[in-house]
Structure 1
Amino acid sequence: MAEGRPVGQRLAGLGKPINLRVIALGLDNFKSFRKKTRIPLRDGFSTISGPNGSGKSNIIDALQFVLGTATSRGMRAERLTDLICNQGGKNSARVWIEMEGTFPRADGTLVTKQIEVARVVRRSRSGTNAHYELDGDSIRLTDLHDVLRNLGFPTSGQNVVMQGDVIQLATMGGVKRRQVLDELAGTKEFDRRIGEAHRELEASDRCTEDTKLILKELGSRLGQLKKERDQALAFQTLTSRKASLEEDLTVLEVTEAEVKVGAKAQEIESGQKAERALSKRRETLTQALEEKQSDLREVEAELAAKGEGERMQAVRAVETLRAKLDGAATRSAELEATQKAREAALPEAEAQAAKHTKTLAELDQRAAALDGQVRAKEGAHQALAGRMEAASEALSSQSAAQLDAAQQGRKLREEQERKRVRERELTERDRTLAETISRLAAEEQHLSASQTEVSGRLGEVREASKVAAETYRAQRESTAETTERRRKLLQNLNAMRAGLESVSAKVGKAEREVAVAEDRRTQALLMSGGKALGFLRTKKLDGIHGPVSDLVRFETETALAIEAAAGGRLNWVVTDDEHVAKRGIELLRQSRVGRLSFAPLTKTRGPKLEGQAPRGAAILGFALDLVEYDPCYEEVMRSVFGNTLVVRTLQDGLPLIGRYRMVTLEGDILERHGIMSGGAASRSSRSLLAAATAGEEVEAKKQAFYELERQQSAARGALREAEKAYEAASQELAQASTKLAEAEAKSASLNGELRRLEEQGGSPAKRLGELAEELAAQRAEAQAVSQELEQVRAALQAESSQLSSLDDTGASSAFEALTREAKQLETEMRAIEVELAALRTQHAEVRAERRAVEERLASAEAGLVQARSELEALGVERARLEEEREAMRAELSAREGELKALSGELLALAQRRDAAREAAQAARDAVTQADHELRSLRESLEGLQVELTELRERATALRAAAEAREIEVPGPEEAPPDLGKERKRLEDTLGKIVRELDGMGPVNQLAIEQFDEAESRHGELEEKINSLDEEKTQIRTRIVGLEGKKKVAFLHAFALVSEAFSRTFAELARGEGRLRLEDPKDPFAGGLIIEARPRGKKLSKLEIMSGGEKTLTSLAFIFALQEVNPAPFFVFDEVDAALDGVNTDVLSEAIARRGSDRQYLVISHHRVMLDKSNQTLGVTMRKGHGTQVTGVTMDEADAENELAEAGASS
C-alpha cells in the first residue's frame, strides 16, 4: 500500500478515476476470521466457494461493515461487539479494503493511485467504540461516503445482492417493487421538498388563524378607544383655551414692563440736562489749560529751533555717512561677486574656443579626405582616356575601306579630346568661382547677420541690464523676508512637536485604560458562567455561538431586572444544533470541569408573548422587548425570558400578581402564583450588572481613546504640514540665495557685454561694402565661364554625333565591338567627370565652413581677451572703493564729536521747558476737579441707566418669550387704561377653565394615538391575511410543480430500467420481458408489474412463475438496475441457489461478459459458476483456527503467487 495520507491531499489535482477496482479485502479478528487475512481480488469475475458454515458470507458482511452499508443486525449480529471473534484473544476487530484507480492529471497524463478504507470496532469496560479510517486517518461515515461517491464507488448497498434479496424481489408486492425505482429516480428528494412545502402551508394556515384571532380582539377594542379619544379631544379643546388665556396674561405682563421702562427713561433725561451744564463749565477750565500749554509749546519750539534742529542735522549727517559706508560695502560686495562671475565664465569661453579649434581640425581632415578622392577620380579618368586612345588606334587598324572613316573619326576624337580638356579647365574654373562666390556670400551673410544681431543685442542687453539691476534689488529684499519667515516657522514647528509628544503620551495612557476596562468586563462575564463556561470559552468549538449573556444587549438601568428575569438561563450555551451540544457535554464530562445547559437553535422553541404588555409609567414592558439580539436567536430568547414583565418597583407590581411573572429594576421577583423573592443582591448575582457597567466604561474609554487618536492624527497632520512649510521655506531660502547670486552675476555680466557691444558696433559696415564689390566681379566672371562651357559642351555633342555616323558606315563585327567599347569608355569617363564635379563642390563647401569656423574662433578669442580686461578693471575699481571707505570712516568720526558738543547746549533749554510744564500742571488740576464732579453725576446717571437696562431686559425677555410662543404683543401705547382690572378678569376666566379640566378626571392622552394605531393595525392585519392567502396559493402551486417533476423523473428512470430489463431478460432467459405500471397516469398510486415470456412459454407475471424463472427474472431486473445505475464493484451471495445447471451457466456467462469493465464477487456452490470465473477463493473452517482461505484457482499463470500470499497472511 502507498503511504496513508488524506485523500483530499493524495488526490489533489486529479480527476475522477477511469477504472476504479478493488484489489484486496482484509479481515483481522472479524467474526469467524480469527487471524489476520488478506484476500487478493482480481479484475473481472471472482467466486467464493466452500462448505456451509465455513464463513463465506462473513466476507460479504466484512464488505458491508467496512463500507458502512449495513447495520449489525443486517450482518447477523445483535451488537457491534458480536462482530469481534471471541476466540481471537483480542478486544477489537478490523476490516479493510484496498482499491486502486487510474486518475487523469490536469495536463492530460494518467497516474495510478491506491486507497485503503478500514473500519475498527473495539470493546472496553466503558463500552463499544467504532470508527472508520481512510488511508490511516480517522474519518466520519458521511465524509467517507462523500469521498467514495466522488470516486464513483457505490455507498447505498444496492451493489450487494444477497440470496434473500432475489427471493424478496420475486415475492414483494408491486408497490414495494416500484419503490425500488423510486430510490433509483431520486424521488426521495422531491418527497422531502414537497413535505417542506406542506409544512410551510400548515405554518401559513396557523399564522392566518392567529392573525384572525388578533383581528377579532382588536375590533372589540376599537369601540372603547373611540370613547377615550373623544374625551381626549375635549380635553385638548379646554387646554387650548387655557393656553390662549395664559397668552393674554403674558401680553399684559409685557405691556406693564414696557410702561415702567418709559417712566425710568424720563428720569434719566432730567439727569442728562444737569450733566450738560457741568460739561460747559469744564470747557471754560479747559480753555485756560490750553493757554498754559501754548506757553509750554512756545518754549519747546524755541528749544527745537535752537538745539534740536542743529542736533538733528548732525544726526542726519552721521546717518548719511553711515549709509554711504554701507553702500560702498554693498558695491564692493557686488564688484567681488561680478569678478567671481567673470572668473567662473572664463572656463566656458576657453572651452568654446577649444571646441572651435577641434572643429577646424575635423574640417581639415574632411578636406584632406576629399582631396584624396578627387585625385583618385582624376587618375581613373586618365586611365580611361588612355584606354580610349587605344581603342581609337585599334579602330584605325581596320580595313582600307574603313581607313578614311577611321582617320576622320580619329581627327574628330582628337578635337573632342582638346575640347574635353578645355571643358575640364572651364569646369574647374567654374567650380573655383562658385566656391569663391559661396565663400563671399557666406561672409556677407554672416557680417549682415552679425551687424543685425549686434544692433538687436545691444538694445536687448541695455534693457536686460536694467531689469537685472531691479531683479537684484527685489531678490535681496525677498531673501530677507524669507529668512524671517523661516525663523518663525521653526519656532512654530518646535512648539507643535512638543504638543504632539504630549498628545502621544495621553494616547498611550488611554489605550492602557481601555485594556484594563476590557479585562474587568471579561472577568465579570467569566464570573457569570462559572468554571465550566470559562473552560468552554477557551476551547472555541465550531458551532458554538456563546452563552446567552454574550448574545443580548440592554440598558444598564435594566441590568438587574434582566438578570433576575433570566436567572441561570443567562448561562445557556447556544449551539448550531443538537450534535454540537452533544460534543460540548462530552467535552465537559471528559474534562470534569462542571455542567452547562445548551440551547440548540434547531430544537429550542419558546412560548409566544401573551398579547401586549399593560400600559403605565411604572411598567417598562416585557423583558424580551427590553433586550436586543440577532433575529436568529428569537426562539432561544423566548425560552430564556418567556412572558416576564419588568416593573419599576415592588409596589408597582403588587396589583398585577396572578396575571404576570414580574421582576423589578432592583432585581426582585414576583411569580405569577404569588411567590415573591428579593432583598439585597449578592455580589455574584450582580455579575451581569457589573459586566454591563464595565461595558459602558469600555465604550467611554474607547470614545476617549478614539478622540485622542483623532487629536494625535490631526496633530501629526498639522506637524507634517508645518514640516512641509518649513522645508518649503528652507528650499525657498536656498533658491532665493542662489537667485540673488545669479542676479548679481547676471547684472555684472550684462554690463560687461554692453560695453563690448558698444565698442564692436561699427566695424562690420566697411567690410560689407568691400564684399559687395568683390562679389559682383566674381559673379560676372562666373557668368562668362558658364557661357563658354555651354558652347564647348554643345560642340562636343555635335562631334560625338558625327563620330557615331562615321562609325555606322563601316559596320563589321570587330569594328562594331571596338565601337561599343569606345562608347562604353566614353560613358564611364562622363560618369567620372560628374563624380569629380560633385567631389569638388563638397570640397568647396568644407573650405567655406572652415572659414566660418575660423571667424567664430577669432570672435571667441576676442571675447576672452575682453573678459580678462574687464576682470582687471573690476580689480582696479574695488581698490578705489576701499580708499573711499577709509576717507568716509575718518569723516564719520569727526561728525560724531560735533554731535556730542551740541547735546550740552540743549540741556539749558530743557530746564526752561520744565518750568513751563509746572504752570500747565496747575491749570490741568483745575480741569481734573471739574472732571471729578462730572464723573460723580455720570455715575448717578449710570445707576439710573442700569435700572433702565434691567427693566428693558425684563420687558425684552417677556416679549421674546411671548414671540417664542408666537404670541403677538402690541406696543405700550395700545395698553388698556386700567391694567389691574384687566389682569383680574383674565385670571378669573383662567381659574374657571382650570376647574373644568380638573373635573374631567384622568384622561388617556394617548387614546388619540392609540385609536389611530389600532385602526392602522387593523388594516395591516387585514392586509397580512390577504398576503398569507397569496403565499398559500404560491405554495400549493409549488407543490403541484414538484409533484410533476417527481413524476417526470420517475417515468424517465422507469423507461431506462424497462429498456434495460428487456435486454437482460432476453440475455438470461432467451425470451421477452417487460415492466408495466399498474397505474401509468398516476404511477405512485400503484405498483410495478414484471411480466416475462421465457422461451417456449406464455407471457406471465413474476408472481406466478416457477422458482427458477422467478430467480432469472429477478436477476434480469437487478442487472437492469445496475446498468442504469452502474458501479465498478458488485457482490452476489448465492443468487444461483434456485437455478439448475443450465440457467446457472447462462447466469455465469452474463456475469463474465459484464466483468470486462467491472468487478463481480459471487458466492456460489455451482461448479459451472466456479469454472466461468477468473478467480475462485475457497474457504474452510478449521477447529481452533477459524475461517481460512484454503485454495484458489484462476486462469492466470501467476495465480499461485497470490494464493501463496493469501496463505501466508492467514
Structure 2
Amino acid sequence: MHLKQLRVSGFKSFADDQVINFNSGLTAIVGPNGCGKTNIIDTIRWVLGEQRVRILRAEKMEDVIFSGTIRRKPLNFAEATLTIDNRDRSLQSDADTVQITRRIFRTGESEYLVNKKLCRLKDLHTLFFDTGMGLGSYSLIEQKMIDLILSDKDEERRIMFEEAAGIHKYRSQRKEALRNLLKTSDDLKRISDIVGEKDRYVKSLARHVTKAQKYREYRDELKKIEVAYTGAMFRGVCEKMKEAGRSHAELKSGKESMAAEIATIETHVEEKRLESHAREEKVMHASQETAAIAERIHTLEKEMALVSAKTEAAHRAVAELGTRHTELESKAAILAENHKGHEGRLIEQEAGLKSAEEAYAMAKQELDAVEADYQEKKQHLAGINTERLRVLEERTELLSRMEKIRSDLDNLLENKAAIERTIESEERRIEECGQRISESKAVLNRATTEYEAFAATRDRLHAKIQEEEQRYRQILEEEKNLSAHLISDRKSLTFIEEMQKNHEGYKDAVRSIVERSLDGIAGIVADVINVNPEYLAPVEAALGSRVQFILADTREIADQAIAYLQEGKMGKASFIIHNQINTGERAQHLAALESIEGVLGWMEKFVSFQEKYVALSGLLFGDVLLVKDAAAADRVRAAAGTTALYCVTPDGTIYNTSGIVRGGEFTSEELGLLSRAKVIETLKESIRKLETQIQFKEGEKAASLQTIKEAQMAMLEIDEKLSSGQRVRQEQEGSIRYLDEEIMRIQARKNESLEKIRIIDARCEETREDEQNTERSLGAIEDKKTELEGSLIICEEEAGALERRRFEVTEKAKNTEVALQSVIHQLDSTRREIGRMTGELEDTYAALADCRRQQQAYEGE
C-alpha cells in the first residue's frame, strides 16, 4: 500500500485546489515556519477520520474550513481526497486505487466517501484495520508516540507492538463486541424492567378488564331491564293513546256525522223554506190572479147583463142562439159556482197553509233554539275537550318532563356512581402508586446501598490496583535489581571460571603441572577441600601456601612432575603423595584442649575433603585449633606446653604456641584459590537463587499482573454494576418522580371528580326540587283533568239530552214540513183546479161572447 496523491481544497490555509503527489521512496515536506507543513499532516489525519478537534488545532470542526482573508471571501466547505495504491490488496477493496474523501460544510454536516461512494466513519475505520494506517497507528508518528516507544512501561510499548502486529484490529473488534454486549445487557435489563413494569400494568389492566366486563354485564342487564320497563311503559302509553285515538276518532266521526246531518237538515230546511217561499209567492200570484179573475168575472157579469139584454134580443132573434146561450149560461153558472167553491177551498187551504207555516215557523224556531243550545253546548263541550286536551298535553309534557327529570336524575346518579367508581379507582391507583413508590424507594435504597457498597469496593479495588501497581513496579525494580545482580554474578562467575580454567593465581610450576594434566595428578589441595564460607578466612590462613600443594597418587608421579619442572625450569612445586600420607594419632593431652574456654574445636572438624582425600584433614589441620580470640589462643599455648600448635581466629589471625603471630590482610595469590572455588560455588548458588528469585519475581509479576487484570476486570464489572446501579437509581428516582407526579395528577383528577360530585349533588338537589315542583304541577293538572273530565261527562250528558231534544224537534220540524208540503200540494192542486175551471169559464165566456156577437150581429141585422 502506497500513498499516491493528496488533493485538498478549502482546508485551513489551502484555499485553492492543491494536489500533492507522493512518488516512490521518501517524500519530505520542507519550508519556513507558518507555510502550512503541519496542515498537510492535519489534512491526512482529517481525511482518515480524525474527530479530535484539539489534534487538528481548532476549537470546533467547522474551523478547519478556509475562513477567508482581507482579499478573499471565506469558503462554505472543505474537501480532501487521499489516493492510495492498492495493487497489493492491503485494503479490503478490489480496486487498484482507493480514494478516501471527506467533506465538511459550515452547517456542521460531514460526508465520507470511498471511491466516490458515501460511507460511514465506521466503514472507514474498518477499511484501515490491520493495515498499519489510520488514526493512532504507527504510520503517523508524533513526538509523544516516540516517547511511548522508548517508554519503560510495558503497557505503553505494547500498544505500538500490537498495532504493528495487527492485534489492534481484534482488540478493537473485541472492545466493540464487549461494548455491544454491555449495551445488549443494558437493553436486556431495561427490557426486563419494562417487561416487569408491563406485567404489573397488564395485571392492573386485567383487573380493570374484569371490572369493566362486570360493569358491561351489569350495564347490559340494566339496559335490558330499562328497555323492558320502557317497552312496557311505551306499550301502555301506546294502548292509552290508541284508546284515546279511538275515542277521539269516534267523537270526531260522531261530531262529523252530526255536523253533516245538521248541515243536511239545515240544507233541507233551507230548501223547504225556499220552496215554501216560492209556493207563497205562487199562492200570492194565484191570489192576485184569482182577484183579477174575480174582478173580470164581475166585469163579465156586468157585460153579461148587457149581453143578457142583447141575448134576449138575440134569443129573440135566433132561437138556437138562445138555447145555446142558455146552455152556456147554465154552464157558466155551474162553472162560477164551482169556481167559488174552489176559491173557498183555496182560502181554507191558504189558511191551513198559514197555520202550517206558523207551525213550521214555530218548529223551525224551536229547532233553531234547540240547535243554538246544542251548538252552544257543542262549543262548550269543544272548549272542555280543548281544555282537556290542553291539560292532557300539559300532563303529557309534565310526565315527559318528569320522565326527563328522573332520567336526568338517574343519569346524574349514574354519573355520580361512575365518578365515585373513578374516585375509588383513582384512590386504588394512588395506593398502587404509593406501593410502587415504596417499592421503588426500597429498590432505590437497595440500589443506593449496593451502589455505595460497589463504590467502596471500587475504591478498595482502585486502592488495590494502585497498591498492586506499586507492588508490580517494586517487583519490576526488584526483578531489575535481581537481573542486574544475576548479570553481575554471571559475569563474575564467567570471569572467575575463566580464571579457574586458566589457573590464574597459581604458581607457575603448579600451573604447568595442572595444565599438563599428568596421570596420577588429582590437582591441588584447593580442588578437593570443601569449606563452610563462615570459616573460609581461618582455613585459608591455616593452609597458607599449602593450598597449592599438588596431589600425586605415588612418589613416582611426583618425581616425574619434578623432573618435568626441572627440565623446563618452571619453578618449584610441593607434592602430597597420596599413598604415603600418615597423620598418626593425636596425643591424649592435646584432645583435652578443645575444652578450653574460647576454643571452638580442631580445624579439621570445620572442613571436609573428597572421600579419597579425607586423610588430608589430619595432615593439613591436625595441629590447628579454631579459637575465638587471642585470649583463647594464649590459654591454649599455656596448656599445650612445648607442643607446637597453631590457633586460628575467625578473622584469619594465626597464633603459634612458639610465640609467632601472623595476621593482617593476605595479598598473596595463593590465599585466593580456596576462596575462588568457594566464590564460584557461591556465585553458582547465588545465580541459582537469583534465577529462582527472578522466576519467582516473574511469577509474582505475572500474579501481580493477573491480580491487576482481575482487579481491573472486577473494577470493570464494578463500574458496570455502578453504571447499572446508577441507571437503576436514576430509573427508580425517575419512577418515583413520575409516580409522585402521577399521584399529583390523580389527586387533581380526584379533586376534579369531587368537584363534579359536588356539582352533581347540587344538580341532583335542583332536579329533586324540580321533580317535586313538577309532581305538584302534575297533581294540579290531574285535579284539573279530573274536574274537566267531570265537566265533560256532565256536558256530554247535557249534549246528549240536547241531541235527543234536537232529534225530537227535528222530527217534529220534519213532520211539520211534511204537513206543510201536504198543504202546499193541496193548495197547488186547488189552484190548478181553479185555473182549469177558470180556463173553462173563459172558454164559456168566450163562447158567450161569440153568442153575443152573433146575437149583436143578429140584433144589428
TM beyond 0.5: no
Tell me which of the two structures has the higher relative contact order, counting C-alpha pairs closer than 8 angstroms and 6 or more residues apart: 1
What TM-score do the two structures reach when normalised by structure 2?
A: 0.26
What TM-score do the two structures reach when normalised by structure 1?
A: 0.19
